[in-house]
Amino acid sequence: MRYVINTGEDRREMLARIGAGSVEDLFRDIPAEVRLKQPLNLPHPMAEPELARHLREMSAANRNLDEYACFLGAGAYDHYVPQIVDQLLLRSEFYTAYTPYQPEISQGTLQAVFEYQSLICALTGMEAANASLYDGASALAEAALMACGETKRDRVVLSETVHPEYRETVRTYLRYRGVEVTECPETGGVTDPERLMGMVDGRTAAVLIQQPNFFGCLEQAPEIGEAARRHGALFVVCADPVSLGVLEAPGEYGADIVVGEGQGLGNQLSFGGPCLGFMACRQKLVRRMPGRLVGQTADKHGRRGFVLTIQAREQHIRREKATSNICSNEALCALAAAIYLSCLGKEGLRRVADLCLQKAHYAHGLITSLEGVSSSFKAPFFKEFAVRLEEDPAGVNRRLLKDKIIGGLDLGRFYPRYSGHMLLCCTELRTREEIERLAAGIGGKPS
């Protein structure tokens, strides 16, 4: 394949116009010592049919979720993506456009992002949302930095029940920033409230929790927020947006910054990326927010229009004093979320959340009634829960796979003390029949 369309004749004439004797001549500024002497050692080019076949073969070496019932969650969720989402994403006026720096010919992207920001505000109960960040993990890290900037304090308290990869990311982001990260231990699958109270003090910039947390359990978030507020620390909640169809909006219980992973809102799993980091905050924090913001305004004829705004926060203007270095974000994933939420609407999102809730509890009931299986935690949960198995989770998963089921996550991978525990997830896509097969498989005899 080639996507260059100048012909040999074109090239000759163009070189003549340029006044170059040859193509080589154009590269004469590159010192001979660093010129490649031989062609790149890459596989031969492929024609499209051959390439498509190769890609199909490669993808067929994976067990995909169209063919397997997936009970894995842990930060990436098999929610249904309505056909309309991808059909609209394929409008190439959307996907082949750059960042909307020229608003007169970018109103499509700008208005869609404005709608996305509005939808995220509505879901989270916050006053402002940005145009997206890379993923939930980096959004949480950015929130921690934002809180340090706002409070001029240098410590954050991070619950151990936050997704382990998110905690790793927070630590990476804060490593050279002179900020101390203290982890608050969990008890029974939720943040230990007493330990937390003891850790938050006048040096604390932020308390960071996840709701529902990594174990699927619901935190007593309002109490935690209260503890943060008492010491003047910001309260940062990392939320599952789908859960907000039934769970209280973090803005209603005192969150200052709400972040999370928006992949479940109309985006494919895609082996974990691209993701969609969302961030929303209170109005007074807007100027500390990282990333792009779209605002509403008007043209000289009074027509409503949208522009990138409060850009003086950003790297292209503020350079080393910017609130973050982020430039490219996840705009197309935000568009998918906007289409998804627009289609589902008020009623539809509530329905998805209800289905997750009901199916997860049905599965929980069936599985924990199996001999040798017990619930890991007593705390209430939304769509994920952990169970303790007598058998090695890897063995159970191998057995399930033969029945076209992808089982849960071995919690021992991230929490050695919970090895032998399995984290399971039910989205609205899991059917009763699949759930019953899952239970039968877990209860089945080791082979």
Partner 1 sequence: MTEPLIFELGAPGRTSSFMPECDVPVRETEELIPGNLLRKKPPRLPEAGEQEVARHFTRLSSLNYGVDTGFYPLGSCTMKYNPKVNEYAARLPGFARLHPYQAEDQVQGALRLMYETQRYLAEITGMDEFTLQPAAGAHGEFTGLLMIKAYHDHRGETGRRRVIVPDSSHGTNPATAALCGMEVRQIESGPDGTVDLDALRAALGPDTAAVMLTNPNTLGLFERDILAIAGAVHRAGALLYCDGANMNAVLGISRPGDMGFDAIHLNLHKTFSTPHGGGGPGAGPVGVKSFLAPFLPFPAVRLDPDSGTCFLDYNRPLSIGKVRSFYGNFGVVARAYTYIRALGGEGLREVAENAVINANYLLSLVRGTYRIPFDRRCMHEFVAVPPAGFREGGLHTADIAKRLMDYGYHPPTVYFPLIVEEALMVEPTETESRATLDAFAGALLEIAREGRENPQLLKDAPHGTPVARLDEVTAARRPVLRWQPEGEEG
Partner 2 sequence: MIMDGLLYSEDHEWIKVNGKSGRLGITHYAQEALGSVVFIELPEEGSRVAAGEPLGVVESVKAASDYYAPVSGKITAVNGELLDSPGLINEDPYGKGWIAEIELEDPAELDKLLSPEKYGELLEKEGK
Q: Which is nearer to partner 2, 35 or 321 (CB)?
A: 321
User: Whole-angstrom Cα distance, residue 92 to residue 378?
Assistant: 49
Provide the 10 A C-beta neighbour count for residue 447: 7
Task: Name every residue whose Cβ is closer than 8 Å to that of residue 231 and which is 6 or more positions away in sequence.
Answer: 200, 201, 202, 204
Tokens in use for 313? 């926060």
| 447: contact with partner 1 by CB under 8 A | no
Length of the chain: 447
| 40: contact with partner 1 by CB under 8 A | yes
82 binds, among partner 2, partner 1, none (CB under 5 to 8 A by kind): partner 1
Beta bridge partners of 307: 295
Q: Tell me the window of 184-192, 242-250, 369-377, 383-391 that interacts with partner 1 (CB under 8 A).
A: 242-250
Kindly report the backbone phi and psi dihedral angles of residue 417, in degrees, each rounded to the nearest multiple of 5, phi listed first. -70, -15
Q: In what order do the strands lie in the sheet with 421-425?
A: 374-375, 384-388, 421-425, 409-410
Provide the 10 A C-beta neighbour count for residue 429: 18
Provide the 10 A C-beta neighbour count for residue 285: 20
| 445: contact with partner 1 by CB under 8 A | no
**Inter-residue contact 426 to 417 (CB < 8 Å):** no
55 binds, among partner 2, partner 1, none (CB under 5 to 8 A by kind): partner 1
Q: How far is the CB of 422 from partner 1 (least distance, A)?
A: 12
Beta bridge partners of 374: 388
User: Whole-angstrom Cα distance, residue 130 to residue 309?
Assistant: 11
Binding residue (CB under 8 A) for partner 2 from 318, 378, 398, 404: 318
| 103: contact with partner 1 by CB under 8 A | yes
Q: Which is nearer to partner 2, 284 or 432 (CB)?
A: 284
State which of positions 144-173 bind partner 1 (CB under 8 A).
Answer: 163, 165-166, 168-169, 171-173
341 binds, among partner 2, partner 1, none (CB under 5 to 8 A by kind): partner 1
Q: How far is the CB of 238 from partner 1 (least distance, A)?
A: 11
Q: Tell me the window of 180-188, 202-210, 224-232, 265-273 that interacts with partner 1 (CB under 8 A).
A: 265-273
Q: Which is nearer to partner 2, 164 or 305 (CB)?
A: 305
Kindly report the backbone phi and psi dihedral angles of residue 336, in degrees, each rounded to the nearest multiple of 5, phi listed first. -60, -45
Q: Which is nearer to partner 1, 188 or 394 (CB)?
A: 394
245 binds, among partner 1, partner 2, none (CB under 5 to 8 A by kind): partner 1
Residues that bind partner 2 (CB under 8 A): 287, 310-312, 317-318, 321
